[in-house]
A = this chain, B = another copy of it.
């Protein structure tokens, strides 16, 4: 164990030092495709190498190929934070190496997963008593929901969603051989409930915080439609769901308590390292009906339903431990403080853009995502984005709204300060000239 302690101290120091210097690293990796591959040997070594060699090559070979998701000036897609308690919990998760294939294989894994999901539901204002478990990503949670909906609605093969739904809806529909029926968005990019046709539908996917613009679909109206038609309502709040820890932001979540299933990604905006996607459902029997299958070699005497009976994978990591560490070490108030600060910074940035001649805001800002553009052609905006990202000072991404190329600034890293956001704005204006 002396090696483990020594190597561990070196790894820990590497991690601590990385988190200290990540602010100064070029945010978006600037390597050409194939660079990292070419710098690595063709085959594994025959003889053991010291762990120090891994740390050395992490610095010397891999570092240029990293895009720094932990950087305070990472503003692309949805910005994330792996906070310190979550990082250290991952060390414990790996040391314990629990594999949750059934309850007795790790009672603590299963019961902590149930408890932390109940804690999180409570923090977000979701109803008591929901079945909850953790998936790797929201894509998997969506497949889980749609497979249960399909099994619960024989002969109905349509999934209704907004034209702005996440691509994972289309991907899940393809896997499950369901027909996608996208409904147009309104001027705010929210689904037009009055145009939602639920005939032959087994499920409707509503989004609170779409990926393009963080638009909020009209969940109360859609929940009424689903209730009338007996259609499974899945609410995808992968990004925005974490914001429901703040009571003042709860109005955006009206109606989600009526959903048949809900997905929220703590690995996005709730300080938890990748991967940890929370999934709740009020219809656990329908999940088991779609997924439960217990072979002889997993049959035991305990009268406990294993979490593997509610979804696709048999084996599961002890992800609950990191979520537990994050919820405890930040506490409700700590989580609220981070979300509030990010919303404040996004509102500030939004104001600067709005007040600046030659720039425009392209979508309402509900959370910490600002959609904006330079007045001008798509090509000018695209070129601006590439120039800004090439500085290494920040990383933004884009989308298309109303056919136009739009820039996205997403705030979600716990290290992001007002100075970082101001620097981003300065660089954008400088590069736009």
The complex places the Cα of A64 from the Cα of B87 at a distance, in Å, of 24
The complex places the Cα of A112 from the Cα of B62 at a distance, in Å, of 8
Contacts of A16 in B (CB 8 A): 1, 4-5, 8
**Residues from 130 to 147 in A contacting B, C-beta threshold 8 Å:** 136-137, 139-140, 143, 147
**Judging by beta carbons under 8 Å apart, are B8 and A88 in contact?**
yes
Contacts of A274 in B (CB 8 A): 97-99, 315, 317
Interface string of A163-193 (1 = CB under 8 A from B): 0001110110011110000000000000000
Q: Given that A31-B107, A96-B18 are contacting pairs, would A91 and B89 also be in contact in the complex, using a CB cutoff of 8 Å? A: no
Contacts of A53 in B (CB 8 A): 328
**Judging by beta carbons under 8 Å apart, are A171 and B291 in contact?**
yes
**Residues from 272 to 298 in A contacting B, C-beta threshold 8 Å:** 273-275, 290-291, 293-298
Give how many A residues have a beta carbon under 8 Å from the other chain's beta carbons: 141
Majority-rule SS of A interface residues: helix
**Judging by beta carbons under 8 Å apart, are B48 and A329 in contact?**
yes
**Judging by beta carbons under 8 Å apart, are A314 and B139 in contact?**
yes
Q: Say if the beta carbon of A332 comes within 8 Å of chain B.
A: yes
The complex places the Cα of A296 from the Cα of B297 at a distance, in Å, of 45
The complex places the Cα of A105 from the Cα of B79 at a distance, in Å, of 11
**Judging by beta carbons under 8 Å apart, are B114 and A94 in contact?**
no
Copies of the protein in its oligomer: 2
The complex places the Cα of A304 from the Cα of B29 at a distance, in Å, of 14
Interface string of A310-344 (1 = CB under 8 A from B): 00111111000110110111111110000000000
**Judging by beta carbons under 8 Å apart, are A15 and B91 in contact?**
yes
Q: List 26 A-B contacts (CB under 8 A).
A: A1-B20, A4-B84, A8-B12, A8-B15, A8-B16, A8-B88, A12-B91, A33-B103, A33-B107, A36-B107, A37-B114, A44-B120, A44-B328, A47-B332, A81-B97, A82-B95, A136-B313, A136-B317, A137-B314, A167-B294, A168-B314, A174-B291, A175-B176, A176-B177, A296-B399, A297-B408
**B-contacting residues of A (Cβ < 8 Å)?**
1, 3-5, 7-9, 11-16, 18-20, 28-29, 31, 33-37, 40, 42-51, 53-54, 58, 62-67, 69-70, 76-77, 80-82, 84-99, 101, 103-109, 111-112, 114-115, 118-120, 122-123, 136-137, 139-140, 143, 147, 166-168, 170-171, 174-177, 211-212, 267, 273-275, 290-291, 293-298, 301-304, 312-317, 321-322, 324-325, 327-334, 386, 397-400, 408
